[in-house]
Structures are given as structure tokens and as C-alpha cells.
Amino acid sequence: MLCLTGISELLTMPRGPRDASDPLGLVTDAALVIDAGRVHWLGPRGDLPRELAGIATQDLGGRVVLPGLVDPHTHLVFAGDRASDFEARCRGETYESIARRGGGIRTTVRATRAASFEALFEGARPRLTSLLEAGVTTVEIKSGYGLDVATELRQLGVIRALGRAGPQRVRATLLFHLMPEAYATDRPAGIAALSELMALAVSEGLADDVDVFCEEGAFAPHEADELLSAARAHGLAIKAHVDQRSATGFASRAAALGARSLEHLEQLDDAGIDAMAAAGTVAVLLPSASLFLGDAARPPVSRLRARGVPMALATDLNPGSSPTFDPWLVATLGCTWYGLTPFEALRGLTAEAARALGLEDGTGSLVAGGPADLCVARGARWQDLLYGLGHRPIAETWIGGQRVVRA
């Protein structure tokens, strides 16, 4: 056992019904006891049970402790870059026009298809390390840069290998990003081929979830419906990129299908909000992508809040629309750009992000019996976590009761 003391503020981020006046589950002058990789006890230091008084102690020096961060939306297994797309947008070319001439996602597809398993793995490791140094202990990683069976399975295999290599906990998502070029003129055959790919991924144990990009130029609502319905039949959890650049109206149907989360949502309508509220679907917000693409539209945060829809935040780490490794920048943008409160942003990086991934074991919170995944901040006040642009507020990252990063 190990008892952490010298905690000025402990943010427990409770799940479920909570005191609205204390959404962070704040404990001041706290102690936290770790046993066998899990939280054994936590609370005010003065309430430490007598039988625990003699165990080994580590003084953190009067700093903030919070749960390990959860990044519920990344695309960090890829090859190449999209610097030319960025330059084109800066010259005034649109995202859509770049895609029509073969740039955009298809640029990354070509590079990823040409990359070996080893190259993809070694390219992804430093990206994961950057997230780890920022305090991210659990990560979702999507495929979607293959658009053919071999490359999609290779991407998923890399994602599984990254999870085995650790130290972060990794969840793998099979993403249907665009229709493969081979089926451009026969889309029903393409949907059938993608359903076969899904079956292969399931049989090889490579995917936990399925995601589909429902958008103009990607998949139409009826195609997304077919793919997500097939995923449910395979026993996979489902989610969708939806209403990012156009109002598809698919959010309502995806929520009705049982989508665990819906991502982007800049064009989300009231019917979609109502359906998400009824289904308990999490809104995963990606402000760095909006900012990097120069999109004026923003998700309807006030209406999501009013209907009680949980809101998570994610980096959307990818080479085209969000080449960032910084969840803290994302959280600050969530406040300044999207209108979240600091409470909502911090919960969006932790408890609500874990909910978006369906993690019910205490991940994203600090609770007795849950994993001892935590961050130790550099400062003594939780308010300083979001008060910065591009700063690194985390000094230490712990996973399973072990310190894996120390700045």
C-alpha cells in the first residue's frame, strides 16, 4: 500500500447523481491510498483510518490531484502529413475543394496504405507518449485511413499492439471514414464490402466499437444506418461523426440505435439533442478541429446543457483537421470557443469522456475500488489547470498506482 499526502485539492469527478454545487467532487487537504493498482481509500487527510496510518507515505508537496485523463476520440495511427492541405486552406481553398481534387483524408489514406505495420506502430508511439505526458491514461484510437480490408485490419492490429505495449489503456474503433474508391459507382456493394470487413475485425478481436462518418462526401444517413445496424448485430458499441460540416439530421437515428456517443455536432438540431437526451448519448466535442479548420459553427452547448446531455472533450488528434497532442488546449478552447464552464471542461476530459467510451470501472473518476490512474498537477489550485494556452499543467502521470511520467 501507498498513501499519497500533500494533496491541496483532490478532484474525484464522481459519476452518476452528484451535488450540483460540487461537480468536481472536491476534497481539500486530501489523502489517497493505493493498493494493488487500485484506489483503496480517499478523503480528507484528517479522516485517514487509523489502521492505514502506518503505511508508506509519499508527500506530493501541496498539489492538485485529479483522475487520469481520457481521450475518447483520436486518429493517431497514420502515416504522412497534411501540411499541403493546411497551406491550401490558408490560401483560401475550402476543405471540400481540397477533398474533391484528391487531397484531405485520401492523402493520408495513400500514405497509410504504403506504410508497414512497424512504421505505423513506431509513428504512433511518440503521439501516445505526448498524450501521456499531458496526463492522458486512457485513449480511444480509430482506424479509417485504409479504406481497404488489408490496411484497415493493419491499422486495427497496430492499435491493439499499442494497447498491449502500454502503459496507457487503449480502446480500438473501426471507423468507416469514406467509401472506398473501388465502390464509387456501386455504393450498395461498398456497404456490403464494409460489412464483411466488420465481420473480419470482429472475428479477429480487433475492434471494440464502430464509428461512421455521416457527412456530405462521406456516408449518407441511410448508409450510416445500415453500417451501425450491422455493428449492433455483431455486438459492437456504436458511435458516429455527425453534423460536423452539414446538417444531416442523422443524430436522432444514431441515438435511437443506441449510439454511445456522437462526435463533432456543430450542426446538431433540436431533434437530435432530444434524442441524445432520451438515449443518454454523450456529445463528444472537438474544438481544436473547429478552430484549425476555421469553422464558424459551434455545437449548441447551451441547448445540450439544458437537456442534460453529457458533454465530453477530445483532441481529435489527426493529421488533417486537428494535429494536436494537447488536451489542455482543447479544454481551454472548450471554455473560450464553445462556452463550456471550467467544471464542464474538466469533467469532459475525465468522467464524461469515460462515459463516452462506456467505461464503468471507475476510469475517469477517483473512487474506492477504481483504477489508480491519476494526474498530479504542477500547482495547488484546480483553476490553474485551464488558465493557459499551450501550457503543460501536469507534473506526474500515474497508471495503475505506478508513476509513469515525472516532469
With a cut of 60, say whether residue 349 has pLDDT above it: yes
Given a cut of 80, whether residue 47 has pLDDT beyond it is yes
CA proximity to 332, closest of 320, 344, 321: 344
- pLDDT tens digits, one per residue of 146-204: 999 999 999 999 999 999 999 999 999 999 999 999 999 999 999 999 999 999 999 99
According to DSSP, residue 68 is labeled P
Q: Which DSSP letter does residue 371 get?
A: B
pLDDT band at 90 (very low <50, low <70, confident <90, very high): confident
pLDDT higher than threshold 80 for residue 91: yes
Tell me the domains of the chain and their CATH numbers. Answer: 2-67+366-406 (2.30.40.10), 70-356 (3.20.20.140)
The whole-number pLDDT of residue 92 equals 85
Return the pLDDT at 17: 58
Whether pLDDT at 18 is above 60: no
Instruction: Decide if 337 contacts 298 (C-beta within 8 A).
Output: yes
pLDDT at 102 over 80: no
With cut-offs at 50, 70 and 90, classify the pLDDT of residue 348: very high
Average pLDDT over residues 372-388: 96
Output the pLDDT for position 303. 98
Look at residues 13, 72, 17, 76 and name the one whose alpha carbon lies nearest to residue 359. 72
The pLDDT assigned to 99 comes to 75
Residue 324 has pLDDT above 80, yes or no: yes
User: Which DSSP letter does residue 233 get?
Assistant: H
Measuring CA to CA, which residue among 102, 38, 87 is closest to residue 363?
A: 38
The pTM for the full model equals: 0.96
Across the range 344-367, mean pLDDT stands at 98
What whole-number distance in Å separates Cα of residue 332 and Cα of residue 290? Answer: 14
Minimum mean pLDDT among 59-63, 90-94, 279-283, 382-386: which range?
Answer: 90-94
User: Is the pLDDT at 208 greater than 90, yes or no?
Assistant: yes
The mean pLDDT value for 35-43 works out to: 98
Report yes or no: 170 and 163 within 8 Å, Cβ to Cβ.
yes
Mean pLDDT, rounded, for 228-253? 96
- pLDDT tens digits, residue range 108-152? 999 999 999 999 999 999 999 999 999 999 999 999 999 999 999
Q: How confident is the model at residue 19 (pLDDT cuts 50, 70, 90)?
A: low
Q: Give pairs for 320-323: CB < 8 Å, separation 24+.
A: 320/82, 320/85, 320/104, 320/105, 320/107, 320/108, 321/95, 321/289, 321/292, 321/293, 322/286, 322/288, 322/289, 322/292, 323/81, 323/82, 323/292
> How confident is the model over 207-215, as a mean pLDDT?
97
DSSP string across 187-200? HHHHHHHHHHHHHH
Reported confidence tier of residue 335, pLDDT bands at 50, 70, 90: very high
Instruction: Answer whether residue 104 shows pLDDT above 90.
Output: no
Average pLDDT, the chain: 95
The predicted structure's pLDDT at residue 83: 84
Sheet containing strand 209-214, edge to edge, reads 69-71, 136-142, 169-176, 209-214, 237-242, 261-264, 282-285, 311-313
- The three state secondary structure string of 6-32 is EEEEEECCCCCCCCCCCCCCEEEEEEE
* pLDDT value at residue 109: 92
Residue 129 and residue 95: Cα distance in Å, rounded?
29
Helix (H, G, I), strand (E, B) or coil at 214: strand
